[in-house]
Amino acid sequence: MKQIEFGPDFKKSFKKRFQNTRLENKIAERIDLFIANRTSPTLKDHKLKGELERYRAFSITRDIRIIYLEEKGKIIFLDVGKHNQVY
């Protein structure tokens, strides 16, 4: 498995947007699933388009996503939030 890092913007967004324990737990569960099996259909992992084409995203819930970048043998989580917050 590639090394995973949490970028500073990810940490800020997480603290600002998620103070609900249930959502925090869901995010942690999905990150664990991502680490164990990135290709799980549950994650709905996909490449982004347009100006964000360098990035990928996966689903936490129907509306919450994590945006990440894969480079140089590592994965960097860049942002987390509702669809309209991260795109």
The CATH number linked to 54 is 3.30.2310.20
Q: What type of residue is 68?
A: Y
Query: Can you give the pTM of this predicted structure?
Result: 0.90
Instruction: Scan for tokens 């999905």, then name that residue.
Output: 30
Split into its structural domains, the chain has a count of: 1
Task: Work out the pLDDT band at 66, boundaries 50, 70, 90.
Answer: very high
Q: Which domain holds residue 78?
A: 3-86
Distance CA 57, CA 52 (A): 10
pLDDT tens digits, residue range 21-50? 788 899 999 999 999 999 999 999 999 999
